[in-house]
């Protein structure tokens, strides 16, 4: 009996060390089907994070297999919740341009409840946001979350068709500034206010990998006219050539080549007035190697001078290119 007890103790210690050991091999993939993989929930402040099979009214499945992390597997998150799920320790010493990709489903009261992804290089002493509102690839949707996830206000927030994800989507972002760091922790931090709860947020199927041709960041559109728009971005590597694709909104990730350019900003021309567009950009690192496409960033081209014959049926109030005075009278 004593031998069996010792063996069980040794096995438990070994298994626990394996789960929580520093991650040094990449790409790293975790689907949470075997166990939590060293990801630990902190639910001390009204937290609801749980790993298992989601059966909520909205979040009712995992993205892969049976298990996912969700703020309450079968119900709703709590009021005034401050909680997080933190990763095992990563060693990015050998990674020049680490990136993260994961599946996410958000359904929370917009601008009041939400979640952010943060990183720490001082063993959790301080945390910094990964990315910012407006970044492409299904990144943060709001910058004024009253529930203060992770002690700040940026993150994923919203519900339904208006601003929720309406299912599992893939989010991706460069882990800027973390390449070469020997000790990195990540955490998904959630926060809610005191009223109105929903299913919340789930994440699954995490992939951390090094990128030899990193995608641009900070994609933005400015200087919009009826026929042109200025597209800008920030290079993540040393590349000096990019491909840009400006296309009708809803087209999706380009399947072919874009327009090659060495100009940043790049001026898109030949647009149609009062038309919704989306823009993607990718780095050309030479030798036939390209980064992933980053985007979309959506924009509406400006109004133009309309030449008769012109018809406006006012099916939408207020229609594009029309304005209403504050008092309802023509200005």
| Number of other CB atoms surrounding residue 239 within 10 Å | 19
Q: Give 190's strand partners.
A: 83, 115
The fold for domain 22-210 equals: Jelly Rolls (2.60.120)
Condensed to tens digits (0 to 9), the pLDDT of residues 14-28 reads 444 444 679 999 999
pTM: 0.77
Domain residue ranges in the chain = 22-210, 217-300
Give every residue of the chain whose pLDDT is below 50, as ranges: 3, 5-19, 331
Q: What is the DSSP string of 207-239?
A: EEEE-SSPPPEEEEEES--SS-EEEEEE-SSS-
The angle at the Cα of 41, spanning 38 to 47, to the nearest 5 degrees, equals: 170
Q: What is 236-255 written as a DSSP string?
A: SSS--EEEEEEEETT--S-S
Q: Which CATH architecture has domain 217-300?
A: Sandwich (2.60)
> Which structure tokens are listed for 18?
């394996």
For the segment 90-119, what is each residue's pLDDT rounded down to a tens digit? Answer: 999 999 989 999 999 999 999 999 999 999
């Amino acid at each position: 009996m004593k031998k069996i007890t010792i063996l069980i103790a040794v096995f438990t210690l070994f298994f626990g060390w394996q789960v929580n050991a520093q991650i040094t091999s990449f790409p790293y993939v975790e689907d949470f089907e075997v166990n939590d993989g060293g990801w630990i929930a902190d639910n001390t402040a009204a937290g609801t994070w749980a790993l298992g099979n989601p059966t909520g009214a909205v979040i009712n499945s995992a993205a892969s297999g049976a298990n996912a992390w969700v703020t309450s597997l079968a119900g709703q998150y709590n009021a005034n919740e401050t909680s997080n799920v933190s990763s095992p320790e990563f060693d990015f010493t050998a990674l020049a341009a680490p990136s993260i990709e994961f599946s996410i489903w958000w359904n929370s009261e917009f601008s009041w409840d939400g979640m952010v992804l943060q990183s720490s290089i001082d063993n959790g002493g301080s945390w910094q946001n990964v990315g910012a509102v407006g970044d492409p690839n299904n990144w943060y949707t709001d910058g004024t979350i009253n529930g203060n996830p992770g002690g700040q206000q940026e993150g994923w927030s919203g519900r339904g068709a208006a601003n929720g994800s309406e299912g599992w989507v893939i989010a991706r972002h460069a882990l800027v500034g973390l390449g070469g760091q020997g000790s990195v922790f990540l955490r998904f931090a959630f926060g809610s206010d005191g009223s109105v709860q929903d299913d919340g947020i789930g994440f699954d199927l995490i992939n951390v990998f090094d990128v030899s041709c990193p995608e641009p960041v900070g994609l933005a559109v400015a200087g919009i006219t009826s026929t042109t728009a200025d597209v800008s971005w920030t290079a993540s590597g040393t590349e000096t050539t990019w491909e840009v694709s400006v296309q009708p909104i809803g087209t999706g990730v380009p399947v072919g080549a874009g327009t090659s350019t060495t100009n940043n900003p790049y001026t898109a021309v030949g647009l149609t007035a009062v038309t919704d567009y989306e823009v993607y950009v990718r780095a050309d690192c030479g030798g036939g190697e390209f980064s992933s496409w980053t985007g979309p960033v959506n924009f509406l081209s400006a109004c133009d001078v309309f030449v008769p014959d012109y018809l406006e049926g006012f099916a939408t109030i207020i229609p594009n290119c029309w304005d209403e005075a504050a008092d309802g009278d023509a200005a």
